[in-house]
Structure formats: structure tokens, C-alpha cells
């Protein structure tokens, strides 16, 4: 018995010890875990706790101003009164909206948007009902606030454009951020997710959006378990966006826009031949950029999109046209560089034979004997056909690229077109075909596959008259009042005598009776200009149509030729260059040249140095 009891006792003791050891092990694990959580990972869980307790709210910064070269405002911020409603503070949100609509207009689409957002946000989140309220609207709401539970009015900022449509294509506009724009950025700025936040959508507003929007402020606030703000703990003020000064002259910009508004669709640029600074850059028709800031109606958007005059397109930067006869200076320089004297002549009977192919000159009766200066002045096609056939298309293409054609210039506005300078290699790569001599003839007069933007044509003209410096168009003059460093333009090493011959031809275009632009000359002494007209073929007039007496101007508007003109002034010391394109304007001398004349005359008369010279002052 004793032995059996002893065995039972020992067995119980072992079990008790094992159980105790197991409990001790479990307690040790638990204690170790508590130590780990409370000591080792204290900082981590403290942070998590603070995130649940502290809310970080972003405050958008004021957008930086955009001004012209003299400080005239082009894009500024104006007061924007906005009406909000907090759903939890009203028992019947629809009834409150009905009451509010008696004091301010609430379109059906805005009302539907508010009601649609009620279930998507927490009940204490303010919902935007209306913005862009007038002072009177705001005052009426404030007076009736006791009868409008949950309604409040706040003052914010709205982007405003003092010159309106005159600068729409260059300054651009802002609009609300879309989800696609957020998704397109690897690390989007958190401020972009704020409801109603606006970013640059076009023009300078888009190109310099990041520095214009500034740095958002931050507000740390204590919130309760459901996220309602209880009190503000800390705040960091927003930093206003950078101020941009452009090279534009607001007065010349407005005048230029008025000049091209004579036509249904046109564009023009005025720039400095030596510095590249752009004084005016206009595209017509335009639009009011503020309608995008405020929210453009769907019907107006469709109207802008469907217009055959393309009011949303910046034609100076994005429009690509056959340069027509404005390209002839390129061919002339290429001919001289190939070793052919500018005094060498070609006889023009009104056509040119290449094998069995007959290439017409624009003057049916012919020009007779032509040298380089006369050929530019009278725009003789046959001269350029013959010379191009001698030197080949590659020599012409190389010169065109030296003068700024065929590639983007790196301008400060998105959407810049590349243009096109075709050559043998291009055709082989693009079309897997061999270049034929007839294409060389078409290229020599700016037809065929050649394309150029008005921005490139102005650059080409500047390089021709500034002594062969590789100038490029410049738009931004200063960032945050700090001048942008001037570029030192490289020398293209074009022969001075060749450039003088080209300039003599361009001077004769408008200042000699036989010149194609004589009718659009500047007649005021000291303000004379040089230039070159061009006509870009849109639809060819067939022999059958000619037999019927049908002319290009008789065709429907969209099938008529484009009219082009490039020019510079004054002729003895060129400073200003311009390029004008009138879409479907038929003839460069008739439609585009008068606009170029008016632009250059306005620029020279505005130049204080020119005025002092005209008045005989030192």
C-alpha cells in the first residue's frame, strides 16, 4: 500500500511540475510579448496612435501671378466666394437647398452633384454647393444663415485672366484635377487630391504648373474617433507660387490679336531677331480662359471642339503648314553654299521641263532672266526649280535644318509641332521608296511634304536677318523677379555675302514695284520692312477646273490655299521679325502681308529707342 501511495504521490508531483512549467513558459511568452510591444515597439505604436488621434490637413497655396515684361498682369487670383453645406447639420438637406436657391442660383446639375456626394463622404464633411458667387450673393446668404442650417460661405481664390481671349493660347488656363492626371504621375503632389484643386491645363499655366502652384500649408488637428476635428494643434503656412514674368508686351499682344481677328482663322508671332524674346503670340479664333476656371458648360465645350476654325488650337506652336514660297530663302542660301553665285541667272518662260514633266511657274507668261535677288523678289518658281535640280534635295534639307525647320525648338508652351523637312533618307525610312527628282522641285518652293510651324518660320526669318545667329524663341523673362540668364546664340557660320543677297531680295519683295508684296509695304520713312509671301496649296486646281474658269478663291473655304508672310523691320537694322499665317486666305500678299505690316509698324512705333530716333533726339 505504502509503495503504491508513494508512486501516486510522485506521479502527481511530476504532473504538477510539468503543468507549472508549462504555465510558467506561457506566462514568460506573454510577458515577453508585452515587453516587446510596450518597450521595443513603443515608438511604432505611439505613431499609430497619433495617426488615429491627429489629422493632417493640406491648405492650398495661392497660385503665382503671370505678368508681361512691364509687370502688366496676365494671370492673377481674385476672390471667390463659395457656398458649402454640412449634411449632419441639417435635418433635410433637400429642403435646405430649396431655401438656399431662393437667394442664389443653383443649377439642377449642381444640386444633383451635391445630393450625389452626400453618401460618399462623412456627414460632417462640407460639400461645395456653388462657387464664383458675387458679393451680393454672398451677402444675401449671410443675412439668411439662421434659416439655412448647415450652410456657410467661405472666401477662396479663383484664377482670372485680365486680357481674356487675347492671351488664352499663350498663358493658358487652369482646371480641376482629373483622376487620369493623378494616375499619370508616379508620385502625385498630395494637394492634387484636394476637392476642387486646380492645375494648369494648357500654355504657360501647364508648362510651369509646379512652381506656379507653390507649396501647400499644413494644419495638424486633433480629431475624435469618427474623424471630426476637435481642435487645431499646429499649422505651417502655405507658400505662394512663383511669379513669372514673360517676354510678352501686353499692348502689342492685344493689337496683334485684333489684327488677325479680321480673318476667320489666323495666327501671328512677333519676336526679337537677336534675343529671341517673343513680344506677341496670337492665334484666332480664341476663347475666354476663365470659363475653364469656373467650369465650362458641356454645350460650349462641344461648340469649341466642333468648330472648323479650331479655337482651342494654338496655331503658332502646333499648326503645321507647307511654307510655300517663304521657303525660297532656304533654297537660295543652299544654292549659294553649294558654290553657285547669286548673280547666276536662269531663264523663266513660265514653266520648267523635267523629262516629260511640266512644272508651272505661278506667272504663266514667265519672268524672263532671273538671278537670286530677283527670284526672291518676284518669287520666280522656275529659278528655284532649276537650281534645286542642280544641287539636290539633301543640300536644301541641311540648310532648312540649320535655319530652325524640321524639329522642335524647345519653346515654353506644350504641344509644339516638329514640322517636316523631307530628304532622300527620310523617304527611304518612312515610305521605303526612292526619292525622285520631281519631289526636289516641289521641295524647293516649300510644297510637297515640307511642313513648318509659324514659330519655326519666325525663327528662320530671325536667323536670316540677325547675321546667322542660331536664335530660338524665348518666352520667360524672369522667375520670381530673378532675370533668366540670356542665351548666347551660336554662330551658324553662314557667309555674310549670301545673307546680304537674301535680305536684298526680301527688301525688294515689298519695296520695289515688281515685288510680290509691294502693295503691303510700310510707306512711313524709317519704318520700312522686308519680307516674303507664300501660298500653301491645300487642294490642287486641275486643268479641267482652270478650263472652266474656276479659281482657288471660288472653292469652299476649307479647300482654299493658306496665305503666309514672313517679315522683318527696320530694313537697315533688323530688330523685329514676324510670321503670319491666314488659314485658307488664298494669297500671302493679299491676306497675310497687310497683317505683318501692321504688326511691324505697331512694334516699331512702340519702341522708345525708335521714337527718339524719329524725333531727332540723341
Q: Where in the sequence numbering do the catalytic residues fall?
A: 325
8 A C-beta contact, residue 382 and residue 365: no
Burial of 107-133, coded b for 16+ CB within 10 Å and e otherwise, reads eeebbeebeeeeeeeeeebbbbbbbbb
Cis (ω within 30 of 0) for the bond into 570? Answer: yes
Q: Cβ atoms within 10 A of the Cβ of 545, count?
A: 15
Grid coordinates given for 430: 518612312
Q: What is the Cα–Cα distance from 306 to 302, expressed in whole angstroms?
A: 6
Beta bridge partners of 536: 562
* Grid cell 543640300 in the structure block, residue: 395
8 A C-beta contact, residue 222 and residue 233: yes
Q: What is the three-class DSSP state of 417?
A: coil
Burial category of 513 from C-beta neighbours within 10 Å (exposed 0-12, middle 13-18, buried 19 and up): exposed
Beta bridge partners of 507: none
Q: Work out whether the CA dihedral 121, 126, 129, 130 comes out positive or negative.
A: negative
* Structure-derived torsion over alpha carbons of residues 492, 566, 205, 174, reported in degrees to the nearest 10: -160
Helix axis angle, 393-402 to 424-431, nearest 10°: 100
Q: What is the Cα–Cα distance from 405 to 414, expressed in whole angstroms?
A: 18
Grid coordinates given for 533: 509671301
Q: What is the three-class DSSP state of 122?
A: coil
Q: What is the Cα–Cα distance from 25 to 33, expressed in whole angstroms?
A: 12
Q: What is the Cα–Cα distance from 345 to 262, expressed in whole angstroms?
A: 40
Q: What is the Cα–Cα distance from 613 to 592, expressed in whole angstroms?
A: 29
8 A C-beta contact, residue 235 and residue 219: yes
Grid coordinates given for 583: 488659314
**DSSP string across 549-570:** T--GGGS-GGGSPEEEEEEEE-
Residues 6 or more apart whose CB falls under 8 angstroms from that of 78 comprise 157, 158, 159, 160
Of 563, 598, 569, residue with least CA distance to 582 = 563
Grid coordinates given for 129: 454647393
Helix (DSSP H) and strand (DSSP E) numbers for the chain? 24, 21
Alpha helices of 380-488 — where are they, by DSSP H?
A: 381-391, 393-402, 424-431, 437-444, 454-465
* Grid cell 539636290 in the structure block, residue: 392
H helix or E strand, kind and range, residue 77: strand 73-85
Q: What is the Cα–Cα distance from 376 to 380, expressed in whole angstroms?
A: 7
H helix or E strand, kind and range, residue 475: none
Amino acid at each position: 500500500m505504502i509503495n503504491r501511495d508513494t508512486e501516486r504521490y510522485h506521479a502527481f508531483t511530476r504532473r504538477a511540475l510539468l503543468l507549472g512549467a508549462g504555465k510558467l513558459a506561457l506566462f514568460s511568452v506573454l510577458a515577453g510579448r508585452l515587453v516587446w510591444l510596450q518597450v521595443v515597439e513603443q515608438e511604432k505604436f505611439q505613431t499609430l496612435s497619433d495617426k488615429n488621434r491627429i489629422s493632417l490637413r493640406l491648405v492650398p497655396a495661392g497660385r503665382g501671378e503671370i505678368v508681361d515684361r512691364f509687370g502688366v498682369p496676365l494671370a492673377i487670383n481674385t476672390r471667390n466666394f463659395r457656398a458649402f453645406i454640412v449634411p449632419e447639420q441639417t435635418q433635410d438637406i433637400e429642403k435646405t437647398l430649396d431655401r438656399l436657391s431662393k437667394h442664389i442660383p443653383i443649377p439642377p446639375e449642381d444640386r444633383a452633384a451635391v445630393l450625389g456626394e452626400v453618401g460618399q463622404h462623412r456627414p460632417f464633411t462640407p460639400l461645395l454647393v456653388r462657387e464664383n458667387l458675387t458679393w451680393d450673393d454672398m451677402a444675401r446668404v449671410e443675412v439668411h444663415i439662421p434659416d439655412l442650417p448647415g450652410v456657410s460661405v467661405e472666401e477662396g481664390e479663383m484664377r482670372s485672366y485680365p486680357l481674356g481671349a487675347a492671351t488664352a493660347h499663350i498663358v493658358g488656363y487652369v482646371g480641376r484635377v482629373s483622376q487620369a492626371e493623378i494616375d499619370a504621375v508616379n508620385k502625385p503632389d498630395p494637394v492634387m487630391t484636394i476637392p476642387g484643386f486646380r492645375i494648369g491645363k494648357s500654355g504657360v499655366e501647364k508648362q510651369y504648373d509646379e512652381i506656379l502652384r507653390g507649396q501647400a500649408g499644413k494644419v495638424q488637428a486633433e480629431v475624435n474617433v469618427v474623424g471630426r476635428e476637435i481642435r487645431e494643434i499646429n499649422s505651417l503656412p502655405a507658400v505662394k507660387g512663383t511669379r513669372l514674368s514673360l517676354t510678352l508686351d501686353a499692348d502689342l499682344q492685344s493689337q496683334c490679336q485684333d489684327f488677325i481677328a479680321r480673318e476667320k482663322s489666323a495666327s501671328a508671332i512677333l519676336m526679337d531677331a537677336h534675343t529671341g524674346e517673343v513680344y506677341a503670340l496670337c492665334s484666332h479664333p480664341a476663347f475666354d480662359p476663365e470659363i475653364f476656371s469656373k467650369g465650362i458648360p458641356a454645350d460650349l465645350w462641344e461648340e469649341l471642339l466642333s468648330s472648323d476654325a479650331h479655337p482651342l488650337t494654338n496655331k503658332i506652336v502646333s499648326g503645321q503648314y507647307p511654307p510655300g514660297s517663304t521657303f525660297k530663302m532656304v533654297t537660295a542660301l543652299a544654292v549659294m553654299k553649294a558654290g553657285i553665285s547669286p548673280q547666276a541667272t536662269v531663264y523663266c518662260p513660265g514653266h520648267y521641263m523635267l523629262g516629260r514633266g511640266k512644272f508651272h511657274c505661278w506667272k504663266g507668261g514667265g519672268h524672263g532672266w532671273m538671278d537670286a535677288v530677283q527670284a526672291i523678289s518676284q518669287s520666280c518658281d522656275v529659278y528655284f526649280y532649276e537650281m534645286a535640280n542642280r544641287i539636290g534635295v539633301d543640300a536644301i534639307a541641311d540648310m532648312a535644318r540649320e535655319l530652325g525647320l524640321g524639329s522642335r525648338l524647345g519653346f515654353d508652351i506644350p504641344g509644339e509641332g516638329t514640322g517636316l523637312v523631307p530628304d532622300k533618307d527620310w523617304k527611304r525610312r518612312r515610305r521605303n521608296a526612292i526619292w525622285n527628282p520631281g519631289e526636289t522641285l516641289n521641295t524647293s518652293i516649300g510644297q510637297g511634304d515640307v511642313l513648318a510651324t509659324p514659330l519655326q518660320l519666325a525663327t528662320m526669318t530671325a536667323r536670316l536677318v540677325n547675321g546667322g545667329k542660331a536664335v530660338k524663341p524665348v518666352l520667360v523673362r524672369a522667375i520670381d523677379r530673378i532675370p533668366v540668364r540670356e542665351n548666347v546664340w551660336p554662330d551658324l557660320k553662314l557667309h555674310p555675302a549670301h545673307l546680304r543677297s537674301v535680305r536684298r531680295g526680301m527688301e525688294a519683295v515689298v519695296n520695289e514695284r515688281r515685288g510680290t508684296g509691294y502693295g503691303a509695304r510700310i510707306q512711313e520713312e524709317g519704318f520700312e520692312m522686308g519680307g516674303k509671301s507664300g501660298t500653301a496649296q491645300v487642294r490642287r486646281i486641275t486643268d479641267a477646273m482652270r478650263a472652266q474658269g474656276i479659281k482657288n478663291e471660288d472653292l469652299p473655304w476649307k479647300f482654299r490655299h493658306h496665305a503666309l508672310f514672313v517679315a522683318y523691320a527696320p530694313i537697315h537694322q533688323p530688330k523685329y521679325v514676324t510670321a503670319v499665317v491666314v488659314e485658307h486666305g488664298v494669297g500671302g500678299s493679299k491676306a497675310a502681308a497687310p497683317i505683318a505690316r501692321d504688326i511691324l509698324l505697331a512694334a516699331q512705333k512702340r519702341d522708345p529707342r525708335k521714337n527718339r530716333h524719329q524725333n531727332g533726339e540723341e
